[in-house]
A and B are shown apart, each in its own frame.
Chain A
C-alpha cells in the first residue's frame, strides 16, 4: 500500500472516530457544555487533560528543540511537567471545591468584583488565542507535508472538524474526543521512539536507550558530545544559558502551566475534590509517557542526522548519493543545502549556511547543478575556523524535522510514518478544541451571563456559548492561514501572562484569607503590565540581550512579574480593608473537601 493511501487511511479513520464520539456526546445544558456535567471519571479526565495539554509544540517541536540545544532543553521538560505538581497540590482541589465553571468565575466571585473578573477574562482570552493560532497552523502543516494539499486547505479541514465536536458537544464532546486523541498521539509518538531506540541501542525503551552503550563502546550521550564538539557545536550535555536564566525560565513555565485556563478548567469536570487530585496524578503519568521519551528521540535523531549527512568518516556525503528523505524534506522546505566549497558534497557542522536570522534559507524557483534547490541568500565564502571544526557548514536543518522526518531517516515502515501524521493532527486538534472552549465560555458565561445580562436563560447562554465558539474558530482559522510572524515569542507571552497574572491571584485567593479586591486587582495589573511590557520591549521595541534585567530573557520574565504581583498585592491588601466576614468564611470552607456539590451523572 502506498504511503499516501496509508496516511489518508490513518487520518481519515481518526477523524471518523472523533466525529462518532461527538455525535454520541452532545451537550444539552450549560453544565454539560462547560464542565461535561461534572461527572467525568478521573482516569478519563487525566487522558483528556494530557491531550489538551500536549499540543503541536509538544508533539512536533519539543524533541527538535532539545535535539539542537541539548542540556538547556531541560527547562522545558521540567517546566511543562513540574507545573502539574503545583496544580495538584496548590490549585486543583480548592478550585474544584469552590465549584465554578471558569477561572474568571473564581476570580470574580472570590474577590467580589467585576473589574477583577474582566481582567481575568482578558488574560484568558489573550492566552488562549495566542496558543490556538499555533495549533491551527500545525494542522495545516501536517496536511501539506503528508497529504500534499495546500496549507490553507489543511487549516480549513481542521477548523471543520473542531467546529463539529466543540460546538456540538462542548466540554462533554471535547473530553471524550480528547481521550481518543490521547491514545492516537501517544501511540504515534512512542512507537517510532521504540523502533529508533531498538535500532540504535538495542534497548526498547528510549528512557534507557539514551544512556546505553553503542557498538563503538561509547555511550549515546558521550558520542553526541563528541560529535557536537568535533563539528564546532557546544557540548550536548552542558548548557549555554546562565543558571539564573534557566532557573527563571523553568519557574515561568511551571507556574505558567499551573495558570493556563484551559488546563485548570479540566479539573472542574470531576465529581469530587478527591478526584481533582487524582486527575493531576493520572494526567502527569500520561504526559510523562511522552515527555520522558522526548530526550531519547532528540538524542537518537541528532546522532542519526549527523551520521547520515556526514557519513561514517564524518567527511560529508555526495549530494547525488543522499538518501531520498533528504530530498523529500528539502522539497518541503525544511532542509536546504548550500555547496559553499563547490565540491558537490553535503557537509554539516556548526554555523549558518544562509544569510538570515537563524540561518533560514530563502528558496527561489531554480535548481542547482546537482539538482538541489537554490536560494537567494546562500553564503558565498567557504571560510571557517579550522581549529574548531573540519569544514564550513553547508546545511540548514529545521528543528521540527526531528519528529517528522525521524521515521524516514531511520527507514521505519510506512504505517509508522502515517501514524506520526495522525498523531500530530490529534495533538493539534485536541489542544485547539480545549482552548476554543475556554474562549467561548469566558465570553458566554463571564461576559454575557455574569457581567452584561444576568437574566438570560440557560438555553440562551448555551446558544451564546456555541456562537462564541463559532466566532473563535473563525478567528483561530484566520491566524492559522495568516500566521503572525512571531509565533514562538507569542507562546512565551501566553506562559508569561499565565505565570504573572493568573497563577498568583489564584494562589492568594486560596491561601491568603485576608486578600481583598484592591490587592487582587493591583497585583494582576502589575503582573500583566510588567510582563507584557518587558516582552514587548525586547521582541518589538528593539531592546537587545545586553540590557536584560539580571540576564533574564523575556521567556523567563514571567517569574519576575509573578514576584512583583505577590509583593504589590500583599502591600495593597494591608493598606485597604479586609474582605467581608462572609467571604473569609467561604475561603475557609473551600479548604475543606466535603460538600463539593453532588455531581450530575450522565
Chain B
C-alpha cells in the first residue's frame, strides 16, 4: 500500500469518470435505442431489421460485450498509471 491518500483520491475520481462514460453508452444502447426511441429508429432499415428492433434484440448485446472489454483495457491502463496494478 504505497499509494498516498491524494493519489488514491485522484485514482478513484478517474475510475468514476470511466464508469460514468461507459454506463452512458450502456444506457443509450439499451434503454435509449432499444426502448425509448425504438419507434423512431424502426423507420430505418438495417440489414433487413428495423433498427430499433435490431438494437433491442441483437445490437445492444454486441455493444455490451465491446463495452466490458474497453472498460477492462481502460482500467488496466489506469491501474498502471497510478501504479496500483497487481
| Cα distance A208–B47 in the bound complex, in angstroms | 8
The reply to whether the CB of B44 lies closer than 8 angstroms to some CB of chain A is no
For residue B8, which residues in chain A have a CB less than 8 angstroms away from its CB?
588, 591-592
* CB <8 Å contact, B3 and A292: no
A254-290 CB contact bits vs B (8 Å, 1 = yes)? 0000000000000000001110011011001100100
For residue B62, which residues in chain A have a CB less than 8 angstroms away from its CB?
288, 292
Question: A284's contact among B36, B56, B64, B75, by CB below 8 Å, is which?
Answer: B64
| Cα distance A589–B22 in the bound complex, in angstroms | 23
For residue B76, which residues in chain A have a CB less than 8 angstroms away from its CB?
274
How many whole Å from B17's CB to the nearest CB in chain A? Answer: 12
For residue B54, which residues in chain A have a CB less than 8 angstroms away from its CB?
211
Take A78-B34, A237-B42, A237-B53 as given contacts and tell me if A89 and B22 are in contact as well, using a CB distance cutoff of 8 Å: yes
Could you tell me the dominant secondary structure of chain A's interface residues?
helix
Closest to B15 in A: A591
The reply to whether the CB of B85 lies closer than 8 angstroms to some CB of chain A is yes
| Cα distance A273–B84 in the bound complex, in angstroms | 11
For residue B58, which residues in chain A have a CB less than 8 angstroms away from its CB?
207, 210, 292, 295
How many whole Å from A293's CB to the nearest CB in chain B? Answer: 10
The reply to whether the CB of A291 lies closer than 8 angstroms to some CB of chain B is yes
| Cα distance A213–B48 in the bound complex, in angstroms | 7
A189-212 CB contact bits vs B (8 Å, 1 = yes)? 000000000000000000110111
For residue B15, which residues in chain A have a CB less than 8 angstroms away from its CB?
591
Take A210-B49, A211-B47 as given contacts and tell me if A284 and B79 are in contact as well, using a CB distance cutoff of 8 Å: no
Closest to A247 in B: B35
The reply to whether the CB of B43 lies closer than 8 angstroms to some CB of chain A is no
Take A85-B64, A211-B48, A594-B86 as given contacts and tell me if A250 and B71 are in contact as well, using a CB distance cutoff of 8 Å: no
Closest to A299 in B: B57
For residue B48, which residues in chain A have a CB less than 8 angstroms away from its CB?
210-213, 219-221
For residue A238, which residues in chain B have a CB less than 8 angstroms away from its CB?
42
Q: Which of A69-77, A104-112, A425-433, A467-475 contacts B (4 or more CB under 8 A)?
A: A69-77
The number of chain B residues touching the other chain, given as a range, is 35 or more
* CB <8 Å contact, A81 and B61: yes
For residue A277, which residues in chain B have a CB less than 8 angstroms away from its CB?
68, 71-72, 75
Question: A81's contact among B35, B47, B64, B72, by CB below 8 Å, is which?
Answer: B64
How many whole Å from A391's CB to the nearest CB in chain B? Answer: 29
How many whole Å from B14's CB to the nearest CB in chain A? Answer: 11
* CB <8 Å contact, A291 and B68: no
* CB <8 Å contact, A85 and B26: yes
| Cα distance A445–B46 in the bound complex, in angstroms | 52
Question: A281's contact among B23, B42, B60, B68, by CB below 8 Å, is which?
Answer: B68
| Cα distance A211–B46 in the bound complex, in angstroms | 8
The reply to whether the CB of A243 lies closer than 8 angstroms to some CB of chain B is yes
For residue B69, which residues in chain A have a CB less than 8 angstroms away from its CB?
281
Interface residues of A (CB under 8 A from B): 66, 71, 73-74, 77-78, 81-82, 84-85, 88-90, 93, 207-208, 210-213, 219-221, 237-239, 243, 246-247, 250, 272-274, 277-278, 280-281, 284-285, 288, 291-292, 295, 588-589, 591-596
9 new A-B contacts, CB < 8 A, other than A220-B48, A595-B86, are A66-B57, A74-B56, A74-B57, A78-B61, A212-B48, A243-B35, A274-B76, A277-B68, A593-B84
